[in-house]
């Protein structure tokens, strides 16, 4: 029976557990993405799930198959994953936007004051009320996103784009945990959807994820977005389609 040794990442300092037989091989830290040679150690630990992916020759050995559904190894795959994450978020946001519009009409219909409801719709759709419109629809989109994840353990965007949100052991997280992560995404990944700040945040997150590092809102956290598949030929089509459909939905709402 193999024993575990304690290893610390030379870049971020996180402590990792790994079987002693992998000492001397090249590993990758799941927290910061740093590649380093696993040092020799005589510190024996109790059996625990390992968070380290280890390479031997051209094959990748995963101590826990749930740790990484798909292991990215090239810069192209990292950049592709960054685009897919953004596309998944677009899909989920526009789905939430449609639900918000349906909610506005549904409340007006159920309350029997359709004219007032349509008046509210006209008011909130006016150009001078774009900020309030954005705040309301964004809030509903994020709440609905967390609700969908709580029920199905994934969202439509993440399912289409091959993305899973899980803990460091590769297990699906709870709806409450996903909602907390969503709030962090809204603050640090979306900058509260303030147009200029949001665009800057997208660029920053793309540069981080495209280089194999964790997004700023996932760094040091127990929740992470991980790929469930590699690069596909239709990924660029998904990006373009998400932009076109989103624009069409926004135009129809106006």
Q: How many helices (H) does the chain have, and how many strands (E)?
A: 7, 9
Q: Rounded CA gap, 162 and 217, in Å?
A: 20
pTM of the predicted protein model: 0.67
Count of CB atoms situated within 10 Å of the CB of 75: 11
Do strands 44-45 and 4-8 pair parallel, antiparallel, or not at all (unpaired)? antiparallel
Domain borders along the chain are: 4-62, 75-253
Phi, psi for residue 174 in degrees, rounded to 5: -80, 165
* Cβ-contact 37, 26 below 8 angstroms: yes
Which residue in the block uniquely carries the two structure tokens 């610390």?
Answer: 8
Per-residue pLDDT of the chain (254 residues; tens, 9 = 90+): 456 677 777 776 677 777 777 777 777 777 777 777 777 654 343 333 333 343 333 333 333 444 446 778 888 989 999 999 999 999 998 898 888 888 877 766 666 555 555 566 666 666 666 777 677 777 888 888 989 998 998 999 999 999 988 877 667 788 888 888 888 888 888 887 777 888 899 899 999 998 888 888 887 777 788 888 889 999 999 999 999 988 888 787 66
């Amino acid at each position: 029976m193999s024993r575990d040794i304690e290893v610390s990442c030379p870049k971020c300092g996180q402590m990792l557990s790994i079987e002693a037989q992998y000492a001397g091989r090249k590993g990758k830290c799941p927290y910061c993405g740093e590649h380093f040679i696993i040092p020799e150690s005589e510190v024996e630990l109790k059996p625990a799930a390992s968070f380290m992916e280890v390479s031997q020759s051209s094959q990748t050995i995963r101590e826990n198959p749930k740790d990484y559904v798909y292991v990215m190894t090239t810069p192209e795959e990292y950049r592709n994953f960054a685009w897919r994450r953004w596309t998944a978020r677009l899909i989920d946001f526009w789905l939430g936007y449609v639900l918000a519009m349906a909610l506005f009409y549904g409340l007006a219909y159920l309350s029997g004051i359709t004219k007032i409801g349509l008046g509210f719709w006209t008011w909130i759709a006016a150009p001078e009320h774009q900020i309030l419109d954005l705040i309301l629809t964004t809030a509903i989109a994020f709440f609905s996103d967390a609700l969908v994840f709580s029920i199905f353990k994934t969202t439509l965007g993440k399912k289409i784009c091959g993305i899973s949100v899980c803990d460091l052991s590769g297990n699906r997280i709870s709806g409450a945990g996903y909602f907390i992560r969503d709030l962090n995404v809204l603050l640090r990944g979306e900058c509260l959807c303030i147009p200029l700040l949001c665009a800057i945040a997208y660029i920053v997150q793309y540069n981080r994820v495209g280089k194999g590092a964790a997004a700023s809102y996932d760094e040091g956290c127990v929740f992470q977005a991980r790929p469930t598949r590699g690069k596909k030929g239709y990924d660029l089509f998904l990006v373009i389609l998400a932009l076109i459909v989103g624009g069409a939905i926004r135009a129809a709402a106006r």
